[in-house]
Chains A and B, each alone.
Chain A
């Protein structure tokens, strides 16, 4: 497919919408209806803007927008260091997910925060919008520097969300969160960023996934193999938001946040920023050719395969619903990296599409967990036996979304699993196949009992569920929308698959 680059100011506007939304929220903080109106208006405008870029991207165009030139390169040898935006197939995957889920999450969190009578809702909404600003920036980043910038923006702007409760647990969780994320970013990403710039002279992503930045340097011998391998490892660990073990502890720790934040962290903004950055770097900085040449793909697949299994086993042992979901997230995120690391067309397809599939299904699960919190004020799974009769819609949606996590048809996760299985066969990796099968079993093991017990299990001793009913409509409707989309993208995977195909060609 011929690739044409077009300048488009819409990218800049899309980036600025959440930022302006943040300011609007801050200044309208006095009146909560106006404030929430600003949030939701911003989210809808953002979604429309992103959607308006779809036709051009599907035609094979790459939209770009140049924002700043920080400096014109070193001694004329290197490219300028710039802040630039681009919309291509890969950015659209993430941008569409982030913007559409923001519109849903705004309503949900409005319902949740009001039902809970949470304090500091203005701060909460402002930081929520700022986190989306960072996520959109990451999605549209045209070079590694821009991506790093917005990656850090997300880290800092979500701190107030995690620390929201301002109690001891809140501060501890938030401290863990910020320490893990900034330390890995500074320790690994910063040197990787600068060293890549020094040895390749550029940080700009190429327009296809095969070249990468190192191909010339490696073939001419100017760049040593071990340097590239070191940089690769730095990038894999540096984007610690991807939840790959051993730098995953921040994620369960961040569970202290209010549930809409957990949904945002674990489905949309934060973790997806992590995997998006990781896969973007694998495909557009290192490139499939270099990854093949240095044999980086399969070891990565096995390495994250460990996370897939280990996190699932840990999830089994958790009784707190949000914690179980957190470990499920860690496991599912590694699916994405595993798929891309297989470096086969089906593997990359499966990995990238899972960014979408996991987002919609996991946000449904977290929304349900939040609805249970509001209705029942309980966090533990053992306390939810028989609750399905009082909250049938919530648990039905929970069931459908957990099917997606397991990878059963016709829900979205099936598309992923199918592609990953094909990918691992294409790559002749029986071990990966076994990991995927084992993880599916484990997924069944920790998801199935929740809904089973809710509908058919016994009530806990002395529990009558008197007066417990579904959460308010402002929460229930977002749950149903997210759940429906999870099904729709399972039955009609082609819409999102188009963007994935635009990446793999």
Chain B
């Protein structure tokens, strides 16, 4: 258990973060008042966000060990523990989750008019589950929370969603559930093989047989690729995004999609390094396919939410590309890009939501030419759109730059194959931006639209702040992840070095 580091200054900080929203949700059950529910949810999520700040302050950037660890035995007979901790791979995602939740509550302030109390409960439970997934170091704990996320998300889409909400929510539910069934099998196999322990760090870098690794990897892959979503497992995403309420879309895009890529980094690579090496080239080309496919499909959309949803397929393709080139630039870029995508796409969904709240339409053609009447809105939208297609000096550029730098190190043709994706991204984002800001000569009358109110400006401002902070000075963020990534890659290469040495011994 030498990978664990307990921080004596903050002994229970992670548990506090996990259980505070849950406690808030439980208390909310008993008070039936819409306004109270809003303020209560905002208070709880804001408090969680504030309490998560010490994580960054006290995070030790010189070690790849799991920090702020808490460990308690949970179900002794099966050797299941409640063990949580974070490292460089998860810290940014934890922070992203805690910081984005109060903004989701703000975005739902007037958007959600029915069953406010239930909606806020769902949001709070979501937060608990999401934070737990990123912190869990015990596979059962992870799996329970991973599955637990589905239910509030299902409700968010199914109750407060658009006209086809039932179809979308069931599709979402079935896809993700189907993916995780194989994951469960893999977990049980690993449990038995590792001396009846669910402790994740102990499962890493073991000498499982090649066949076992391939099978394990495929199980992981199915679960995580659906979650990312990687082409061609992405079809649930546009449906879910389109029907979900704004806050649901934001959570889905900013946090849930990251769980797939997080899973690759946390489980697939360390537990099945040999299979990773064998299968990485296929995944790389699948990522390229996703980048190009997402780009073309986004270009053809007339529904703004669908457009952003397909753009996510492309952007997440860049992330998986960065992960599986398996070098420092690529993986660091990928983790940074996970954060960037959370910020930028989250903000874009908020922007679309704000238009939807006014016009009650997601059609691009009904939102044309609002620039003249909503100058503040289009200023925000412009910056987020620029960020989305990787305009230099914004956050996504840094991530894309690192990913492509890593890809160029790996293979020049592969990197060149990804470039059209960047062109397409510029094309569909500028197309949308042009339509919304300028439109054409036959714009509908938009003069009755009100520009953003203070609440909406407050909701969007933090996103803009991070767009430029990461775009102009990403080093503090890279410092947080660097040692963990280096350790992951060192172990990966050492593992293959070892394997090579063994093969040499056998052959000679």
Chain A residues packing against B (C-beta within 8 Å): 68-72, 74-75, 81, 83, 145, 148-149, 152, 156, 163, 166-168, 171, 175, 178-179, 182-183, 186-187, 190-191, 194-195, 197-199, 227
Contact = CB atoms under 8 A, between A and B. Distances in A.
Contacts of A171: 438, 440-441
B398 interface: yes
Given A70-B398, A74-B405, A194-B408, A83 B441 contact: no
Contact of A186 (B401, B419, B434, B474): B419
A70 B472 contact: yes
Nearest to B416: A191
B472 A68 contact: yes
5 contacts: A69-B473, A71-B475, A171-B441, A182-B426, A186-B426
Contact of B430 (A70, A182, A190, A198): A182
A200 B4 CA distance: 39
Contact of A198 (B408, B419, B425, B427): B408
Interface of B: 328-329, 386, 389-393, 398, 401-402, 404-405, 408-409, 412, 415-416, 419-420, 422-423, 425-427, 430, 434, 438, 440-441, 471-475, 478
A194 B420 CA distance: 15
Contacts, number: 88
Most buried by B among A171, A191, A227: A191
Nearest to A179: B427
B475 A145 contact: no
B329 A74 contact: yes
B402 A74 contact: yes
Contacts of A182: 423, 426-427, 430
Given A171-B438, A191-B404, A183 B392 contact: no
A152 B387 CA distance: 13
Contact of A69 (B401, B420, B423, B475): B475
Contacts of B434: 175, 178
B404 A70 contact: no
Main SS of chain A's interface residues?
helix
B404 A194 contact: yes
A179 B409 CA distance: 29
A186 B412 CA distance: 16
A175 B433 CA distance: 12
A227 B409 CA distance: 13
A187 B392 contact: no
A209 B404 CA distance: 28
B393 A149 contact: yes
B392 A74 contact: no
B391 A152 contact: yes
B90 to A, nearest CB: 20
Given A182-B427, A182-B430, 17 more contacts: A70-B398, A70-B475, A71-B474, A71-B475, A74-B405, A81-B398, A148-B392, A149-B393, A171-B438, A182-B426, A183-B423, A183-B426, A191-B415, A194-B405, A194-B415, A198-B405, A198-B408
Nearest to A149: B392
Given A178-B430, A187-B419, A195 B391 contact: no
A167 B440 CA distance: 7
Nearest to B443: A166
Contacts of A83: 393, 472
B401 A81 contact: yes
Given A70-B398, A191-B404, A198-B405, A145 B392 contact: yes
Contacts of B405: 74, 194, 197-198
Contacts of B415: 191, 194-195
A184 B173 CA distance: 42
A17 to B, nearest CB: 19
